[in-house]
Structure 1
Amino acid sequence: MAELRLEELSARTIVAANSLTLRRGQEQFVTPPSYAIADAYLSPVTSWPRVVLDGDTVVGFIRGNFDPEATQEEFRSCIWRVTVSADAQGTGVGRFAVWALAEEARQRGFARITAIWEEGEEGPEQFFLHTGFTVVGETQYGEKIGELGL
């Protein structure tokens, strides 16, 4: 892997982000990036969408949300989406994206970031736990709420 970097969405990177391929079985746990991209434009003040590039190739996508006024605490500084292409999984791309979002949260004055995930064999739980999140609750739908202290 070349040196990873984040970049704001552009016409070139939106198409690449939306075309990221996943490992078999992961599709059920991930909303397509196009949904997050569209939502980012509906909430431009609080949304933080970025692509992860390895050289000139988009290998990941992350969307955070920073809203200190959110009524639900777990949505004040959170990861809405993180997607890493199948070929780049396990190489540090996801961890890089999460730590970059964590640094952005820290600079904005937040003391933690949260993530919500669904349990399942091909789901993201192990990724979040290995990245340093701890389970701190559950949604009314049974999804796990994780927290990473900054």
Structure 2
Amino acid sequence: MPSIQKVYIIMGVSGTGKSTIGKLLSRALEIPFFDGDDFHPKENIEKMEAGNPLNDDDREGWLIRLNELAKEHKSSGAIIACSALKESYRKVLLKEMKNHLGFIYLEGSFELIKSRLESRKGHFMPLELLKSQFDTLEAPTEAITVSVSLTPDQVIQEITNQIQ
């Protein structure tokens, strides 16, 4: 598949498979993948590891950094995994990106995501914070929306069909 000259934010609560789907989509579209979690400041990671949800102030600098990353790849395209739970967060990510940035929302029920997180090892997001993420989530109205009840290959197929 030819490269798409756009930056896509793979979004959703923790446990939806943003990193897995992001890496697969990156290969399919032949554009780089970046995990937004890698751009969190140390303080944010320590706060989440301690079981405390991030607030808007904690997220602000992180979202600005991800917007800068998106702008760096505006002409070549990229995939960035980022929860982007609130409309206000998505507005920060969209700054100076307009038609160059799209959102891909990985959607799943609380029960499905909870069962996934319970079997997950080595991630800093404790299960207890999942409820706070669902409470914070403002589902996007303008996004490619795909159910995570599908297999990863089916999710990629759904996304690429909707991108074309």
The TM-score bracket by the shorter chain reads 0.3 to 0.5
| Structure with the larger helix share | 2
> Which TM-score applies when normalising by structure 1?
0.35
Return the structure number with greater relative CO, CA threshold 8 A, min gap 6.
Answer: 2
